[in-house]
Amino acid sequence: MAALDHHAISAAAALLWGHWTAGTRIPNLPESCRPADRSDGYAIQAAVAALSGQRVVGWKIAATSLVGQRHIGVDGPLAGRLVSSRVMTTTTSRNAAVSVPIDGNVMRVAEAEFAFRLRASLPPRERMYGVQEVLDAVESVHPAIEIPDSRYDDFAQVGAPQLIADCACACWLIVGEAGTADWRRQDLAAHAVETFLNGRPAERGVGANVLRDPRLALTWLANELRTYGRGLTAGDLVTTGTCITPVPIAPADSFRVDFGELGSLQVELG
């Protein structure tokens, strides 16, 4: 149960959403509405999503790797809602990269991620979800590029509850088509991912960089939302965190990820 009352939660959400829409930042949330724990953070996050007036289409997981945890100054994963206007999809038949604006983005990095589309819901309950039960709820696996951002001046210093309130550094998510391989027969922990910046090789990674396995990250989220929030819903898209060291980007850059048989996609940065 959140310790902050309704008025404090609403005040924090209004402040954060105002900075989302204005493209501006704050040092911290005011002490009067600053979340002290995860429960407070998720309560504010839910209010931010409601203020957006948009549908929540899925979730992101931040800080599933040691590199990601160091990047934002936390010691474990965080979950964040994804609203509809911030998720883009691309298809190989279009043969075109998605264009994403990053003007004003303070983080200025791109990440390669495994994303899961759910075919069945995983609602809140007392008993923890197991890995196989979670995987049975998955419809497909997709390559994804996340371009995170923060509404704080120094996102590495504000701590996990404030980062959760700010949707765990959500900004843009670009999702490609599912690849040709049967992902259930793949060892996602060992699966290699290559990235390219402006046509040149950039960072390489493997699924094991994501909480040892992207499937374990997805299970972590199902259990996090079993405790905090509404659980996972059929149709939700879940991106499980970067499997590479985040790649610095700038306007006019082109960033491509290649997941081999699991698919590839490219984004043009404006």
- What's the CATH number where 140 sits? 3.90.850.10
Query: Has residue 32 been placed in a domain?
Result: no
For residue 175, what are the domain limits? 55-269
Query: Has residue 6 been placed in a domain?
Result: no
- At residue 67, the pLDDT reads 76
Query: What does the DSSP assignment read for 186-248?
Result: S-TTT-EEEEEETTEEEEEEEGGGTTTSHHHHHHHHHHHHHHSSS-B-TT-EEEEEESSPPEE
Query: Has residue 160 been placed in a domain?
Result: yes
Say whether pLDDT at 95 is over 80: no
What is the mean predicted confidence (pLDDT) over 46-51?
Answer: 97
Total tally of structural domains belonging to the chain = 1
What is the mean predicted confidence (pLDDT) over 30-59?
Answer: 97
pLDDT in tens, 101-121: 999 999 999 999 999 999 999
Neighbour count for residue 110 (Cβ, 10 Å): 29
Query: Has residue 41 been placed in a domain?
Result: no
pLDDT in tens, 252-265: 999 999 999 999 99
Would you report the helix, strand and coil content of the chain in percent, each value rounded to 5? 30, 30, 40
What is the mean predicted confidence (pLDDT) over 133-154?
Answer: 97
- Polymer length in residues for the chain: 270
Say whether pLDDT at 210 is over 80: yes
Query: Has residue 118 been placed in a domain?
Result: yes
Query: Has residue 17 been placed in a domain?
Result: no
Say whether pLDDT at 221 is over 70: yes
List phi, psi (to 5°) of 24.
Answer: -115, 175
User: Between the CA of residue 150 and those of 39, 80, 202, what are the distances in Å?
Assistant: 20, 12, 24
Query: Has residue 112 been placed in a domain?
Result: yes
Query: Has residue 202 been placed in a domain?
Result: yes
